[in-house]
Chains A and B, each alone.
Chain A
Amino acid sequence: MFNRMFTIPGFVLAVSACASFPPPNDTMASSLASVRGAEELGAANVPQAALQLQLAQEGLNKAKKLMAGGDNEQAHYMALRAGNDAELAIALTRENTARGEAKSAEQRVDDAKSPETTP
């Protein structure tokens, strides 16, 4: 009797919690878009960004599983984490590109300062 008394309200609470947090479809979609963006930018080829991309991909998979298990709130926050990981991966990739461009620009200035003399 004691067990039944605690089990039934617990189940009811759990069900009501699931029902109160809607499926995080928007968050999932947004995070997925960020992960795709990072992949397309080539984050996997930039050492600093590759780790963040991997974390994002793993986080997104966890979020999908949590959502499938009915844990929408956990899924929402996991998807948010994944989205932020992906955004950071994108930024790190762009930083790497900008660093290359800055180096090229400096080289051009050096070349302009001392142009090659024709023999």
Chain B
Amino acid sequence: MNPAKSILLASTLILLGACAHTAPNELLSARASYDRAAAGPANQYTPADLHIAKESLARAEKSYTHDGDTVLVRDQAYIAQRKSELAEVLARIEMLRKGIAASDQQEDALTKQDAAKTKAELARTKGALTAEKAQGAATEKELAIEKERRADAEKRAAQSAADLARIGAVKQDERGTVITLSGSVLFASNKFELLPAAQVKIGQVAEALLAGDPGATFVVEGHTDSQGKAATNQTLSVNRANSVRDYLVGHGIAADRITAAGFGSDRTIADNKSAEGRANNRRVEIVVKAGPR
């Protein structure tokens, strides 16, 4: 054997030895891919696909052990690597699907929760509306009653005023409704006892007042003409006012609704120089003050 042939043979043996101990890159990559897949979620989510990858890698390893680095081994290793990668991707897809299912479930629960909340709010609003409606109806009823009551009061007041107008002069001023009764009809000169005819008249006044506004209050005012002493006139006017008041109380007017006052000749309504004027100044006025509405 010449030296050149010896060197070639030695080189060939060395290369063969190297090949026998160094696996092809495809097989190295396939091993790494499988190890990574087996340590990852594929083990849990896609065990069947991982098993296929494992068998594929085993075929490549067997071929390599048997034949060394061949095209077939490289092809088989390439395929095994893809199988491992596929198992990994399929595992990730499975994880994503589980995540989607969980999200859907959560969304469904939240939607139901929201619907229940809306329903409860609706029920509350409906309840409030019903209560408000009932309150409105009650207010309307109260208003109707009040309206009726006022109409009744006004009717009675009108009737009372008409009745009083038949008994004495009736006018309206800042004090209220004023019924003026002539003093000469009610009392004898310088007396404060009611004359019998006057009693009938005052009795009619009492009836008219009782039929009127039940909340009204009354003031009986006594007035005289300017003849005689002022002090005497004052006393006489007070006594006459009290006489009328007492008579009205005796005929059903509540005592706390009626007061009496005397003004002597201080508040004249006519000239005291004439007999007619003095006659008009001698009077009793019953002031009717309307009750609170």
Contacts and interface: CB of A to CB of B under 8 A. Distances in A.
Nearest to A74: B71
Instruction: Bin chain B's interface residue count.
Output: 20 to 34
Contacts of A58: none
Interface in A36-52: none
A109 B114 contact: no
B218 to A, nearest CB: 64
A88 interface: yes
B93 A109 contact: no
Contact of A105 (B78, B93, B107, B111): B107
A30 interface: no
B75 A78 contact: yes
Nearest to B110: A112
Nearest to B74: A77
Contacts of A77: 71-72, 75-76, 79
Contacts of A95: 89, 92-93, 96
Nearest to B98: A102
A88 B72 contact: no
A24 B83 CA distance: 21
B103 interface: yes
B102 to A, nearest CB: 8
B79 A80 contact: yes
B107 A109 contact: yes
A84 B96 contact: no
Interface in A46-94: 73-74, 77-78, 80-81, 84-85, 87-88, 91-92, 94
A84 B114 contact: no
A46 to B, nearest CB: 12
A102 B103 contact: yes
Nearest to A94: B93
A78 B78 CA distance: 10
Given A101-B100, A102-B99, A105-B103, A84 B72 contact: no
A14 B93 CA distance: 46
B225 interface: no
A87 B106 CA distance: 33
Interface string B80-107: 0011011001101100110110011011
B79 A112 contact: no
A119 interface: no
B103 to A, nearest CB: 3
Interface string A102-115: 10011011001101
B76 to A, nearest CB: 8
Contacts of A85: 82
Contacts of A106: 99, 103
A118 B54 CA distance: 57
Interface of B: 71-72, 75-76, 78-79, 82-83, 85-86, 89-90, 92-93, 96-97, 99-100, 103-104, 106-107, 110-111, 114
24 contacts: A77-B72, A77-B76, A78-B75, A80-B79, A84-B78, A84-B79, A85-B82, A91-B86, A91-B90, A91-B93, A92-B89, A98-B97, A98-B100, A99-B96, A102-B96, A105-B100, A105-B103, A105-B104, A105-B107, A109-B103, A109-B106, A109-B107, A109-B110, A112-B111
Given A84-B86, A113-B110, 16 more contacts: A77-B71, A77-B72, A77-B75, A84-B79, A84-B82, A95-B89, A95-B96, A98-B93, A99-B96, A101-B96, A102-B96, A102-B99, A105-B99, A108-B103, A109-B110, A112-B111
